Amino acid sequence: MTMHESFALGVFLSVEGLDGSGKTTILPHVRRWIEERGHSVRLIREPGGTKLGERIRELLLDPGLAPMDPWAEVCLYVASQAQQVRDIIVPCLEQGIWVLADRFRDATVAYQGWGRELGADRVKDLQDLVLGPLFPHLTVLLDCDVAVAWHRVAKRATSRDRLEQEARPFMEKVRQGYLDLARQYPQRFVVIDATQPLAKVFQDVTAVLEATWTSGLSGGRGGM
Ligand SMILES: Nc1ncnc2c1ncn2[C@@H]1O[C@H](COP(=O)(O)OP(=O)(O)OP(=O)(O)O)[C@@H](O)[C@H]1O
Ligand SMILES: [Mg+2]
């Protein structure tokens, strides 16, 4: 049985991209699009969502615990994902509730596998072991030039101290990691140019949702 057959009622969508690419900005738009079609939506964020996930989020953001061993960091992210799968994603999909994720497992491959150079395949192997074949049916990648994303985050931040210039080569690797995933899983990923004006990004995302909706999500999405 494929994942789609086992969760025939609910659909799992994720939005991925660099910090500042616009994920949180477009989520309400996607949510509205789903609700207009009569479905309930559950929003999740990574890491977090569950009681354990929120505690893990605190650990990951606690500067008192730095520097964290990079594999310890991966394990914390994947632990949060495992709890989300069990407590939220599977139960929602089984009840026909759509799940909309502000990042999910692909982010760990891009940020830790590529950004921290732990190796995409090693991170994926760990996720396969822990999470099994549970993937979003559709992943929207908001692809964004690092300098543009950086500029947006700088404008949004309350303190510029948080923004260290060394992070730019890191973000470049993360972007390449995301694009590599999109090339590897073309049936699941859709890449959108997130440097366009917001109205055009919305329009492109809507077009993807409409096209996917019309063609049916059972056409090979998921399990990749
Ligand atoms: N296409 C766009 N054009 C101009 N500004 C944008 C665009 N998309 C997002 N922004 C702005 O960029 C900032 C960052 O967007 P947002 O918070 O949605 O990014 P994010 O992907 O959720 O980042 P993070 O991963 O850090 O949470 C916001 O101030 C948002 O208004
Ligand atoms: Mg965000």
102 CA distance to ligand 2 centroid (A)?
7
State if pTM tops 0.85. yes
At 105, list the tokens: 């497992």
Give 46-79 pLDDT, tens digit per residue: 888 899 999 999 999 999 999 999 999 999 999 9
Output the pLDDT for position 190.
97
pLDDT tens for each residue of the chain, 224 residues long: 344 444 568 999 999 999 999 999 999 999 999 999 999 999 999 888 899 999 999 999 999 999 999 999 999 999 999 999 999 999 999 999 999 999 999 999 999 999 999 999 999 999 999 999 999 999 999 999 999 999 998 887 665 544 455 588 999 999 999 999 999 999 999 999 999 999 999 999 999 999 988 876 643 344 44
Domains and their CATH numbers in the chain: 3-215 (3.40.50.300)
CA distance 98 to 112: 28
Torsion of CA 41, 45, 48, 51, to 10 degrees: -10
Place of tokens 């606690």: 62
At 75, list the tokens: 């394990």
Ligand closest to 202 (CA) is: 1
Q: Which ligand 1 atom is at minimum distance from the Cα of 15?
A: 21
CA distance 106 to 185: 11
